[in-house]
Chains A and B, each alone.
Chain A
């Protein structure tokens, strides 16, 4: 069994990496976006974002003041062994990260709005577990900003409307969001399953690197069509007009009941923070998201 202290330390390291350094695919996509813009305002916004990203890295400060609600994805290999103690270690690591980096304490009680002060609380940090082949544990830190998470939409589309119904719901969601989620965004789309699964797939799709298409050609085509359409709206960076409203669209699907067609949209801002590492049975740690 892997030493839980190792997981606690890794939690701090992954959160630090996530909030300070954006993954390479995101940075490159923002660079390309700047080249595609023609208006001064859009270009100025993207230059400010890129300069901000560079400063955050060199000054070792969080890239955005909203360091998010703390979310993790955990893929446990069947051969990894026991995960006992790991949730506690991650919560401990989250508290330490809040102090040490520092992170902005964002976790509040939903009714009293009282801030826990350390980014933990009921169900928080949020842990999304799945099981995979292999003898490792893969952990992704995914701190999620409030401004973009607020731009989440769900609809039980009529199955008879088919793919046109899905497209219309996604495009209307993006248009109604305007500049609020700090575009250029990444749009996560979850199709099918039950309502809760559709929302989860929408969020999970945001883990996929920019530019990587779905393996199913039909879904890949949907992603491309939606991206093209979104970037025709003219919303642009920060909603101040321009050619790049989204950097990518990622969709995931599940089979669903013959009577229903759940569709969910989850929005990610330009500060698309994620950091992933693999922990092997022997305690070896490998950072996957940020190549050195």
Chain B
């Protein structure tokens, strides 16, 4: 199925998404890598608010290439980064801020999948390296927070239009497309070996 969703995304809409679905998002999207996750959780512990409400929002694991043009920030290239680095923080992050969609590449671990099931969120893969396609869906850079973390690690607040295709690969029902592919590859192995004339 293909969906076009607008932020904030309701829990019932997120729960409809299944692995294999394709999503395009319009609205507000926020970039966050390791350091932004760490900082957000630290603020939460101190009982302080984030610069932006993330409920029902979209988090993008991305360190963009940006430039300033006529006093405004512009996204030049904004492909996804490997998501497993955020596994350390993601479950707590979802519990604390309740975003609906996490976008990155390569999938995430069982703790994140568990939190997604519990709180109603999904993980989507965006095509690795498709940096211009991603940047083109950014209509405006609304702002940047925590700039002192450096351009890639700062939290970029973006207004996006039809950002995608996002491929749902972990849904809120405990299914992981990555796990399914890994299993299929394992099952194909004997055929692959025998085609090459290699013993197991």
A-contacting residues, B73-88, CB 8 Å: 76-79, 82
Q: Decide if B196 touches A229 in the complex (CB within 8 Å).
A: yes
Expressed in whole angstroms, the Cα–Cα distance for A74 and B65 within the complex equals 30
* Contact, CB under 8 Å: B127 / A171: no
Q: A164, B192: Cβ atoms under 8 Å?
A: no
Residues on the A chain within 8 Å of B126, using CB = 48
Closest chain A CB from B59 CB (angstroms)? 18
- Which stretch, B44-52, B114-122, B179-187, touches the partner chain A? B179-187
Tell me which of B65, B131, B165 contacts A63 (CB under 8 A). Answer: B131
Given A180-B82, A239-B181, A241-B184: A271 touches B76 (CB 8 Å cut-off): no
CA distance A61 to B181 in the complex (A): 33
- Is B96 positioned at the interface, with any CB of A under 8 Å from its CB? no
Q: Which of B41-75 contact A (CB under 8 A)?
A: 63-65, 67
How far is A42 from B63 in the complex, measured between Cα atoms in Å? 25
Chain B at the A interface: SS class? mixed
Give the docked Cα–Cα distance between A52 and B65 (Å): 15
B169 near A171 with CB under 8 A, answer no
Cβ-defined contact, B193 with A44, below 8 A: no
**Contact residues in B for A171 (Cβ distance below 8 Å):** 192-193, 196, 198
Cβ-based interface call for B149 (8 A) = no
How many chain A residues sit at the interface, stated as a range, is 35 or more
- Nearest to A45 among chain B residues (CB) is B127
Residues of B100-123 at the interface with A, using a CB-CB cut-off of 8 Å, are 105-107
Segment with Cβ contacts to B, from A78-86, A125-133, A230-238, A259-267: A230-238
Given A40-B20, A65-B79, A232 contacting B169 (CB threshold 8 A): no
Q: Are B198 and A168 in contact (CB under 8 A)?
A: yes
Chain B nearest CB from A133 CB (Å) reads: 38
B133 within 8 A of A: yes
A270 cross-chain contacts in B, Cβ below 8 A: 129
Give the complex CA separation of A271 and B128 in angstroms: 10
Q: Knowing A49-B130, A171-B192, A171-B198 touch, does A234 contact B185 (C-beta < 8 A)? A: yes
Instruction: Give the distance in Å from the alpha carbon of A175 to the alpha carbon of B189 in the complex.
Output: 9
A180 and B191 in contact, given A45-B127, A147-B82, A238-B127 (Cβ under 8 angstroms)? no
B131 contacts A62, C-beta separation under 8 Å = yes
Residues B161-177 near A (CB distance < 8 A): 165, 167, 169, 177
A63 touches B128 (CB 8 A): no
Q: Determine whether A64 belongs to the interface, using a CB cutoff of 8 Å to chain B.
A: yes
Top 10 closest A-B pairs, CB basis? Answer: A65-B77, A48-B127, A65-B131, A52-B130, A182-B128, A64-B129, A52-B133, A55-B132, A241-B181, A167-B196
B residues lining the A interface (CB < 8 Å): 20, 22, 63-65, 67, 76-79, 82, 105-107, 125-133, 135-136, 165, 167, 169, 177-178, 180-182, 184-185, 188-189, 191-193, 195-199
The contact sample of 12 A-B pairs, CB cut-off 8 A, is A40-B20, A41-B20, A48-B130, A52-B131, A63-B129, A65-B79, A167-B197, A179-B128, A228-B195, A236-B181, A240-B178, A269-B128
Task: Using CB atoms and an 8 Å cutoff, list the residues of chain A in contact with chain B.
Answer: 40-41, 44-45, 47-49, 51-52, 55-56, 59, 61-66, 102, 104, 145, 147, 164, 167-168, 171, 175, 178-180, 182, 225-226, 228-229, 232-241, 269-271
Known: A41-B167, A241-B184. 18 other contacts (CB 8 A): A41-B20, A44-B165, A55-B133, A55-B136, A65-B63, A65-B65, A147-B128, A167-B197, A167-B198, A171-B196, A178-B182, A228-B195, A229-B196, A233-B188, A234-B188, A240-B181, A241-B177, A241-B180
